[in-house]
């Protein structure tokens, strides 16, 4: 967000109200008040032969475990730096520009049926490269996997769930009202896995394909991305030769109230372009765009 911007009445702790939107865009959240009313589903198969070569070279250079998850998150951050409307959210029937880039994911401490799972939230800057993503994500994941104790989010949930059910329902109602008006303390939204820029699930690590996942009515998450395991496809090129190509399948669930279809089309085109030119995320952007006011 611009340093010259002065916060005004109507802004939230986690974002500023966008006041210059066309009247119809402001009206849409009243027609579709819940995020589940506004789901858009999109799926695409990305050719990853070039990405795979870059990731393999990074692992050889010492970035152990550098993988597709890091690349997709880095690509998403780069797109926000170019198309900042992707980082908007809708709460209280109003559209806000988010102050931070916060990526959320679910992590199992070990790959087993009995292993517990938790959520992590990592904050990024629009200028971050894939190497920044690797460092920040791995720090969080290593912290979770090396600690058997619950993190702050789990501790908060454990305390709440020990209460009688009617008190839990009442507490959730109060939280919804507070979130509607932007009154939830920042300390709680920092813990919440429902408040962030995007949530992502790597189903490829489970050797299955992606799923169409809902996005939650509570909170501010506008996008859910899932991606599956790598797969091979044999294709005939224009010279009549058979080529072995690698793909991953991705599915996107998006809140259509934040931006229009043309904007989302530009986002997805940019994602495809970054998959074709993976070197883009290896260096910082030359320019960072600001969202409208």
Residue 137: CB atoms within 10 A of its CB come to 21
Cα–Cα distance measured from residue 46 to residue 41, given in angstroms and rounded to the nearest whole number: 16
Phi and psi at 248, nearest 5°, equal -125, 145
Q: Is the pLDDT of residue 183 over 80?
A: yes
Query: Sorting pLDDT into bands at 50, 70 and 90, what band is 112?
Result: low
Cα–Cα distance measured from residue 60 to residue 55, given in angstroms and rounded to the nearest whole number: 9
Q: Residue 111's pLDDT is what?
A: 65
pLDDT tens-digit series, residues 26-81: 999 999 999 999 999 999 999 999 999 999 999 999 999 999 999 999 999 999 99
Phi and psi at 76, nearest 5°, equal -65, -45
């Amino acid at each position: 967000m611009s340093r010259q911007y002065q916060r005004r009445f109507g802004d939230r702790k986690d974002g500023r109200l966008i006041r210059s939107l066309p009247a119809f865009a402001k009206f849409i959240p009243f027609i579709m008040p819940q995020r589940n009313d506004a789901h858009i589903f999109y799926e695409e198969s990305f050719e990853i032969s070039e990405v795979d070569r870059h990731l393999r070279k990074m692992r050889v250079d010492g970035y152990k475990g550098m993988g597709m998850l890091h690349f997709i998150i880095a690509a998403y951050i780069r797109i926000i730096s170019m198309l900042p409307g992707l980082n908007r959210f809708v709460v209280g029937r109003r559209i806000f520009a988010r102050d931070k880039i916060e990526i959320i994911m679910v992590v199992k401490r070990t790959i087993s049926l009995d292993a517990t799972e938790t959520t992590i939230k990592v904050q990024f800057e629009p200028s971050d490269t894939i190497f920044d993503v690797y460092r920040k994500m791995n720090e969080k994941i290593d912290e979770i996997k090396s600690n058997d104790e619950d993190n702050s989010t789990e501790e908060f949930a454990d305390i709440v769930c020990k209460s009688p059910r009617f008190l839990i329902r009442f507490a959730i109602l109060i939280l919804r009202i507070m979130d509607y008006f932007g009154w939830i303390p920042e300390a709680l939204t920092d813990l919440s896995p429902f408040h962030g820029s995007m949530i992502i699930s790597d189903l490829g690590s489970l050797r299955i394909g992606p799923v169409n996942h809902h996005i939650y009515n509570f909170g501010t998450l506008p996008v859910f991305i899932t991606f599956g395991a790598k797969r091979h496809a044999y294709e005939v090129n224009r010279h009549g030769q058979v080529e072995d190509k690698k793909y991953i399948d991705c599915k996107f669930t998006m809140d259509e109230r934040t931006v229009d279809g043309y904007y989302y089309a530009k986002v997805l085109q940019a994602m495809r372009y970054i998959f074709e030119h993976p070197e883009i995320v290896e260096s910082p952007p030359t320019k960072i765009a600001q969202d409208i006011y």
